[in-house]
Chain A
Amino acid sequence: MALATRDIVRFGWGALRGYPARATLMLIAMAIGVGAVVVLTSLGEGARRYVSGEFASLGTNLVIVIPGRSETAGISPTTLMGETPRPLTLQDALALKRSYSVHRIAPLNIGSAKVNWQGRSRDVVILGSSSELLDLRHWSMAQGHFLPPVDLERAVPVAVIGKKIRDELFGARRAIGEWLRIGDRRFRVIGVLATAGRSMGTDVDEVVIIPVASAQQLFNTESLFRILVEASSRAAIGPVKQYAIDTLQERHQGKKDVTVITQDAVLATFDRILGALTYAVGGIAAISLAVAGILIMNVMLVAVSQRTAEIGLLKALGATPRQIVVLILAEAMLLSVLGAGTGLLLGELGSLLIRHLFPILPAYAPLWAVAMALLVALFAGLLFSLLPARRAARLDPVLALSGR
């Protein structure tokens, strides 16, 4: 005697509606569990994707040479702050260019100076670099041209400015061709950068870029802040890193006094940390699902004892033990499905809200987390209602009907 699925669902649904408080409680417990998994993993995943995106916007296949040695060969505060125990020079940069695996190279100098045009002035972050910086950083021009591809040692008096600098100094007037005063030198504006947003702490809209040799004169220094090297392919990143280490060691009288980091390694580290974070919050949320499961068990046990007479009656009417198990399990599963569905809806609404409040965070719950939450919810619902269902199937109908 097999029960029709439709009848099972109808009966279970009726039973749930018969005890709305109990059903609602279980539904909420389940929904909170599933919702928590969805929201928390979307948050973790959002953070991971945000950081990955930030690093990707730095450039592709990047190898970064930083003056000073880091003992752990990783990133330490001193290397990131760019303290200079021994200078990194333009000649070093030129030496790196000689490898076939090096696609682009951009020496980088950074400083701050007063920029002045017809009486208007402000302090600006000045980047000294080369023509290849534009493509290396995936930037583009709003107007004019980027730095000309000239010899790195030539101090050409030209400047490329960010959009905000243009707006503040020139307003609606044409900036290209105008002469700026930066510090005590004059530079001709040859281009305006298109907005690229923030990346790694510098706002492209608020910088002025001049040739690296000019920057060295302006700040009166021989040393570079960084050398950005773009390897010709992903596979070339490792060799280029090694090449940079070897070349610079040779040039620096055998001293290992530079740190070479690859974007890949940094990215992978962040990826691992944030990935682990996502798993961790997912795990914590899964525990709340298990708690929901235990709640389901207790509530179903109460349900079975509340409905002793009904179960006894079903037996008297000819329900087999199996049919009783199926009916009780179906009731719990129905609740689990509804709870999980509600939780999924709430979770997705939650991550929608997060994306709305923090537009920079791509907070989408990963598919595996959603699938896991639903599976665990349904499995917990099934597992934890097995005991109550078995108990119901074993009820003595005579006792159940007599209410003894």
Chain B
Amino acid sequence: MIELSDIHRDFQVGDQKVHALDGVSLTIGAGEYLSIMGPSGSGKSTLLNLIGLLDRPTSGVYRLDGQDVTALSDRQQAEVRNQRIGFVFQAFHLVPRLTAAENVELPLILAGVPPVQRGQRVEQALAAMSLSDRSRHKPEQLSGGQRQRVAIARATVMQPTVLMADEPTGNLDHKSGQDVVRILEQLSSNGITLIVVTHDGEIGRRARRQLHMLDGRLESDSGTGNA
């Protein structure tokens, strides 16, 4: 359960203030499938980063499962990110020197999960992405679609409640992009809360709930599809 009320995020650029988010209030229920669309610079990524606790609002209150998370320390926020939030990025952000399996293992290492349990969980996460036979491959030996699936395995290996994807198909061809969307929707139907930022109207319209942003504000909200 995500509750944002009157969130502002200002950036100081030189002596000019940029209002990247200008009073956003939004409630997202557990298990929702939501897309955020809008022109470039409208604040989509900024909003996603705030929800994902990678950034802090200039003002406003953000409650995650009833808890005011803006008041948490950096360390506590890191723990929330580790346990409850998964990220998928446009640029994949796999560590190039690590194999697919080692990349997926990273969140488990940070969480202090003992090695014996890690192997099994990594295997399961990769198997769910049909990548079992690629576990020892380095990112450079994988196609774009495979890389993004490794990234999704990594984002889900901790079994988070929220999965955020910022332009997850932006660097992929049409076919791989569709595969990735199908996988994300599969996860959503298994109960995860899915938030996808996209430029691609075709992908955005597949979400049950669609948000449009303009100049740091929510311009339209198709409303809670199910909550």
Contact = CB atoms under 8 A, between A and B. Distances in A.
Given A313-B95, A314-B106, A398-B55, A319 B112 contact: no
Nearest to A14: B97
A319 B52 CA distance: 14
A323 B110 contact: yes
A388 to B, nearest CB: 18
Interface residues of A, number: 31
Interface residues of B, number: 32
Contacts of B97: 14-15, 17-18
B109 A7 contact: yes
Contacts of A7: 109
Contacts of A321: 74-75, 78
Contacts of A320: 74-75, 78-79
A314 B105 CA distance: 12
**Secondary structure type dominating chain A contacts:** helix
A401 B79 contact: no
A14 B106 CA distance: 13
A322 interface: yes
Contact of A1 (B74, B96, B102, B110): B110
Contacts of A402: 45
A401 B106 CA distance: 16
Interface stretch (B81-89, B139-147, B176-184, B213-221): B81-89
**Secondary structure type dominating chain B contacts:** helix
A371 interface: no
Given A1-B79, A2-B112, A398-B55, A317 B106 contact: yes
B98 A14 contact: yes
B93 A313 contact: yes
A401 B111 contact: no
A394 to B, nearest CB: 9
A67 interface: no
A318 B83 contact: yes
Contacts of A314: 106, 110
Interface in B102-145: 102, 106-107, 109-112, 114-115
A200 interface: no
B44 interface: no
A14 B138 CA distance: 13
Given A317-B81, A317-B82, A320-B75, A397 B95 contact: no
A4 interface: yes
Contacts of B89: 401
Of all A-B residue pairs in the complex, the 7 with the closest CB atoms, nearest first, are A318-B82, A18-B97, A320-B78, A318-B81, A320-B75, A317-B107, A397-B54
25 contacts: A1-B78, A3-B110, A4-B115, A6-B115, A14-B98, A14-B102, A18-B96, A18-B97, A310-B95, A313-B95, A315-B54, A315-B81, A316-B52, A318-B79, A318-B107, A318-B110, A319-B78, A319-B82, A320-B78, A320-B79, A321-B74, A321-B75, A323-B110, A397-B55, A402-B45
Interface of A: 1-4, 6-7, 11, 14-15, 17-18, 309-310, 312-323, 396-398, 401-403
